[in-house]
Structure 1
Amino acid sequence: MILVTGATGTIGRHLVPLLIDSGAAVREMSRRQGFDFEDTESLTRALDGVDTVFLLSPPGDTVAKYDLALLEQAKNVHKVVKISAIHTGEPGFELTSAWHLPGEQALRSSDLMWTILRPTAFASNALAWLPQIEAGEPIPSFYGDGKNGVVNPRDIAAVAAQALLTDDHDKQTYTLTGPELLNTTQQVEILSDVLGKPLQTVDVSPDQARAGMLAQGMPSESVEFMLKGFEIVRNGGNAVVTDHVERVLGRSPATFRTWAQETLL
């Protein structure tokens, strides 16, 4: 029995069908199914009879708390595949490391088999631009010319499935990226071509971004977290492409264009 946390989310909705098609028994854990990381009894029910766990805690400053809460209850579990984030534990990435490093360390020091997946920026983040695309307005660019190795969530799910279903990736840490580095302007140009619609970007300075997020009611700590992320990308800190998806799947990762064609057409 494989427990999939975040089963209805960006990765989980692709992962669950892959596991079912493989013949695995799957239990989905999400709030829709009545499960809650903050409810010990709920976690006990979710883990009953489970041998393997796909661990994806909701993003935010509760990630470490939720990771550790589930691991504490995972008495009879043999393997955990955890979704972490690119650069976890590296200097300059203290904020995301605070989310994910405690769970990573708990797995490494445990008797469990584990695989840690550290994806970069998701291709599906571009869905946040749909209001501008539909209104014919410029798409905000917070990263300047900074680039990401944008990864398709389907590829993250496919890698996770291999780690869950086989022993080939036990005690491995993979940084998951797409095959190319793209800045926001390049992503928007691809979307323009795929959709057959003229699209433009507008650069948003850190001060403009801060003012806009505060005006929307975002807590100041969250705003500063977001701005730190923008700064890292602007300065080239996330310009990373690896071969880890290909190493696991035996094929190249999907391009951003492929994601756009599959998702938006």
Structure 2
Amino acid sequence: MSDSVSDSKLLITGASGTVGGAILAVMRRRGVPVRALVRNAATLPGHPLVDIVEGDYDDPRSLDAATAGMEAVFVLTTPGSPAPRHDRALVRAARSAGVTRLVKLSATSAGARGPDGRIVGSWHRAAEDAVTASGLSWTILRAPSFASNFLRWADLIDRGLPIPNMTGSGRQGVIDPRDVAAVAAACLLTGVGAGRTITLTGPEPLSVPDQVACLARVLGREITTVDVPPDRARARMRSAGMDAPAVEAVVAGAAWAREGGNARVTEEVRSILGRPAGTFERWARDHRAAFQRGGG
């Protein structure tokens, strides 16, 4: 371990994922040493400024080792089944290690009420509660649909097949995950947003068809969508191996978004970063190669 890495005081969880990886990129550009928590170190390229540690949210000793000596932790948990136990485990370890600041990535659906009256995103809200009740300084960052979600459809687009749409014409404040990462980095480094629940969005509400039209323009090819009713979505997710609670969480969130529950747009990115949030079109142009035939 280099001297600079040994001086790291920031722990980034979910470091091999979309937002966690983007936070690492921000810190590398700024020359800030960090510790990165992943399940498998082989999934993350090595870097002189990044101390890669392996851990498991169900292994308390690994969390104790990961949080040891840290001052601030980016909290990102993505369990296969919606449950806040991983957040609680990480908070316990952070508190025991003397961590002073937590920055938690959550979702705009946390605690929202769906069209049928049921609470949407209840596990997100419970996970938030674990952070806000920690006794540590905290910031909650709620984000809607990520622009990068479209990368999962790259193969369908390449094959000329329609993109499945669970949210109909419902618009969402689609955000570039790089903006979420930049805000998270600011919160970790400066403490901005302490004690606040901050909703981050892109500059305009977009439906899936809106995003498809934009991506079609950027790629110069036709892209279509196909509406996926809740029952068909359930069947597909169950056949893919998702457990029942996770399936129902996704279906409930999609119904909420379909009815316009996620159409909110905020100026929080501009307020914190001093610049506007990036557009979906900018994200699409920056990631054009991923949708090209033979692209990654």
Common fold: TM-score over 0.5: yes
Aligned length: 264
Report the 3-state secondary structure (helix = DSSP H, G, I; strand = E; otherwise coil) of the residue aligned with 1:187. Answer: helix
Pairing partner for 1:35 from 49, 52, 55:
55
Quote the residue 1:48 is aligned against.
68
The residue correspondences of 1:17-166 to structure 2 (distance < 5 A) are 17-33=25-41, 34-61=54-81, 63-74=83-94, 75=96, 76-92=98-114, 94-97=119-122, 99-166=123-190
Q: 1:132 to 1:95 in 2, by over 3 A?
A: same
Structure 1: give runs of 5+ residues left out of the alignment: none
Q: 1:220 to 1:124 in 2, by over 3 A?
A: same
Q: 1:105 to 1:215 in 2, by over 3 A?
A: closer
In 2, the alpha carbon distance for the partners of 1:100 and 1:216 equals 23
Whether the 8 Å CA contact 1:57–1:63 is kept in 2: the answer is: no
CA shift for structure 1 position 217: 4.3
In the alignment, residue 53 of structure 1 is paired with which amino acid? V
Whether the 8 Å CA contact 2:22–2:178 is kept in 1: the answer is: yes
TM-score by length of 1: 0.93
Q: Segments of 4+ in structure 1 off by > 4 A?
A: none
Q: 1:205 to 1:103 in 2, by over 3 A?
A: closer
In 1, the alpha carbon distance for the partners of 2:131 and 2:241 equals 36
| Root mean square deviation of aligned Cα | 1.8
Question: How many percent of aligned residue pairs carry the same amino acid?
Answer: 44
Greater shift, 58-67 or 117-126, is seen at 58-67
Is residue 194 of structure 2 the alignment partner of residue 170 of structure 1? yes
Offset from partner CA, 1:37-78 (integer Å, 9 cap, x none): 111110111011111101101244355111110111112101
In 2, the alpha carbon distance for the partners of 1:211 and 1:229 equals 16
Report the 3-state secondary structure (helix = DSSP H, G, I; strand = E; otherwise coil) of the residue aligned with 1:24. Answer: coil
Offset from partner CA, 1:155-181 (integer Å, 9 cap, x none): 000000100010332112111110111
In 1, the alpha carbon distance for the partners of 2:245 and 2:81 equals 11
Whether the 8 Å CA contact 1:177–1:245 is kept in 2: the answer is: yes
Structure 2: give runs of 5+ residues left out of the alignment: 1-8, 42-53, 290-296
Q: 1:250 to 1:204 in 2, by over 3 A?
A: same
Whether the 8 Å CA contact 2:113–2:120 is kept in 1: the answer is: no
CA shift for structure 1 position 95: 4.4
